[in-house]
Amino acid sequence: MSFGPYASFIVTSYLAAALVVVLLIAWIALDYRSQKRRLRELEDSGVSRRSGRSATDIK
Amino acid sequence: MKLSDLANPTRFLSLTGRLLPYLAAATAIVLLIGLYLSATAPDDYQQGATVKIMFIHVPNAWLSMFVWAVMSAAALGTLVWRHPLADVAAKAAAPIGASFTFLALVTGSLWGRPMWGTYWEWDARLTSVLILFLMYLGLMALWRAVEDPSRAARAAAVLTLVGALNLPIIKFSVDWWNTLHQPASVFRMGGSTLDRAFLIPLLVMAVGFTLLFVTLHLAAMRNEILRRRVRALQMMQARASASELGPASPASQPA
Amino acid sequence: MTALAALIRRDIRIALRVGGGALIGVLFFLTVVVLMPFAVGPDLALLTRLGPAILWLGALLASLLTLDRLFMADHEDGSLDLIVMGRVPLELACAGKALAHWLAAGLPLVVATPVLGLLLNLDLLATAAVALTLLAGTPALTFTGMIGAALAVTLHRGGLLLAVLVLPLSIPVLIFGVAASEAAIAGPLSFGAPFSILCALSLVSFVVGPFAAAASLRHGLD
Residue B189, in any domain of the structure: no
The whole-number average pLDDT for the span B74-89 is 87
User: B226 and A36 in contact by Cβ < 8 A?
Assistant: yes
pLDDT mean over C49-77:
86
pLDDT at position C187 is 67
pLDDT of residue B255: 43
CB of A53 within 8 Å of a chain B CB? The answer is yes
B48 pairs with which residues across the strands?
Answer: B44
Does residue B142 belong to any structural domain of this protein? yes
Helical spans, DSSP H, in chain B? 3-40, 51-76, 84-116, 124-145, 149-181, 196-245
Whole-number Å distance between alpha carbons of B13 and C112: 60
Measured distance CA(B170)–CA(B164) in Å, rounded: 10
- Spatial neighbors of C90 by CB under 8 A, at least 6 apart, are C83, C84, C214, C217, C218
With cut-offs at 50, 70 and 90, classify the pLDDT of residue B3: very low
CA distance C170 to B169: 10
When pLDDT is averaged across residues A40-55 and rounded to a whole number, the result is 71
User: CA-CA distance, B82 to B76, in Å (whole number)?
Assistant: 9
Mean pLDDT along residues C123-129:
87
Q: Is residue B109 part of a domain?
A: yes
Strongest mean pLDDT among A18-22, B125-129, B168-172: A18-22
Query: Is the torsion defined by CA of C204, C206, C211, C213 positive or negative?
Result: positive
Q: What is the pLDDT of residue C162?
A: 83
Q: Of B215, B227, B228, which is closest to residue A25 (Cα–Cα)?
A: B215
Tell me the mean pLDDT in the region C125-149.
90
Q: In chain B, which residues have their Cβ closer than 8 Å to the Cβ of C161?
A: 141-142, 145
Q: Quick one: which of B84, B96, B92, B121 has its CA closest to B3? A: B84
Minimum-distance CB partner of B216 among A6, A28, A49: A28
B252 domain-assigned: no
Indicate whether B144 pLDDT > 50: yes
Chains that touch C (3 or more CB pairs under 8 A): B
- Report pLDDT for C124: 86
Interface pTM, i.e. ipTM? 0.84
Q: For residues C129 and C186, which has the higher predicted lDDT (pLDDT)?
A: C129
Query: Which of A21-35, B240-254, C80-94, C178-192 comes out lowest in average pLDDT?
Result: B240-254
> pLDDT tens-digit profile of C78-88?
888 888 888 88
Given this model, what pLDDT does residue B186 score?
42
Contact in structure between C173 and C201 (CB atoms under 8 Å): yes
Query: How far from chain centre, in Å, is Cα C208?
Result: 15
CA–CA distance, B75 with B91 (Å, rounded to integer): 10
- Asked if C212 contacts B161 with a C-beta cutoff of 8 angstroms, the reply is yes
Give the gap in angstroms from C-alpha C169 to the nearest C-alpha of chain B.
7
Q: Is the pLDDT of residue C160 over 50?
A: yes
- What three-state secondary structure class fits A57? coil
Do B71 and B160 form a contact (C-beta atoms < 8 A)?
yes
Measured distance CA(B166)–CA(C63) in Å, rounded: 19
pTM value is 0.85
Q: Is the pLDDT of residue B46 over 80?
A: no
* B145 → closest Cβ in C147, C161, C215: C161
C69 or B79, greater pLDDT: B79
User: Is residue C186 scored above 90 in pLDDT?
Assistant: no
Note whether A13 contacts B111, CB cutoff 8 Å: yes
Number of inter-chain CB pairs under 8 A, A vs B:
105
DSSP states along B9-26: HHHHHHHHHHHHHHHHHH
Asked if residue B244 has pLDDT above 80, the reply is no
Please judge whether C169 and B162 are an interchain contact, meaning their C-beta atoms are less than 8 angstroms apart.
yes
**Nearest Cβ partner for B177 among C151, C179, C216:** C179
Average pLDDT over residues B50-66: 86
Distance from CA of B123 to the nearest CA of C (A): 15
In one-letter notation, the amino acid at residue B23 is L
* Mean predicted confidence (pLDDT) in C193-208: 89
pLDDT beyond 50 at B232: yes
Q: Give per-residue pLDDT as tens, B12-37.
A: 888 888 889 999 999 999 999 988 88
B71 has a pLDDT exceeding 90: yes
The predicted pLDDT at position C141 comes to 92
Higher-confidence position of A45 and B163: B163
Is B12 contained in some domain?
yes
Number of structural domains in chain B: 1
CA distances, B180 to each of C171, C177, C181, C193 (Å)? 16, 14, 14, 13
Looking at the complex, does the CB of residue B229 fall below 8 Å from at least one CB of chain A? yes
Give the DSSP letter string of chain C.
Answer: -HHHHHHHHHHHHHHHSTT--HHHHHHHHHHHHHHHHHHH-S-HHHHHHHHHHHHHHHHHHHHHHHHTHHHHHHHHHTHHHHHHHSSS-HHHHHHHHHHHHIIIIIHHHHHHHHHHHHHTT--HHHHHHHHHHHHHHHHHHHHHHHHHHHHHHHHT--THHHHHHHGGGGHHHHHHHHHHHHHHHT-SS-SHHHHHHHHHHHHHHHHHHHHHHHHHHHHH--
Q: Which residue of B has its CA nearest to C194?
A: B176
Residue B238 pLDDT: 84
Q: What is the mean pLDDT of residues C163-178?
A: 88
pLDDT band, residue B211 (cuts 50/70/90): very high
The pLDDT of residue B173 is above 70: yes
Quote the pLDDT of residue B247: 55
pLDDT digits (tens, 9 = 90+) for C22-49: 778 888 899 998 898 888 888 888 888 8
CB within 8 Å: B169 and C220: no
CA-based nearest residue to B66, from B212, B196, B204: B212
Contact criterion met (CB below 8 Å) for C137 and C202:
yes
| pLDDT value, residue C165 | 86
Domain-embedded: residue B244: no
Band (A52; pLDDT cuts 50, 70, 90): low
pLDDT score, position B191:
47
pLDDT-based confidence at residue C222 (cuts at 50, 70, 90) = low
Residues C28, C65: contact at Cβ < 8 Å?
Answer: yes
Buried b (16+ CB within 10 A) or exposed e, C77-106: eeebeebbeeebebbebbbbbbbbbbbbbb
- In terms of residue numbers, what domain contains B154? 3-180+195-234
Closest approach of chain B CAs to the CA of C17, in angstroms?
32
In angstroms, rounded to a whole number, what is the distance separating the alpha carbons of residues B70 and B8? 19
Q: What percent of chain C has a predicted confidence (pLDDT) above 90?
A: 18
Average pLDDT, chain C: 86
pLDDT of res. B4? 47
Domain-located, residue B248? no
Asked if the Cβ–Cβ distance from C219 to B154 is below 8 Å, we say yes
- Average pLDDT score over residue span B125-142: 89
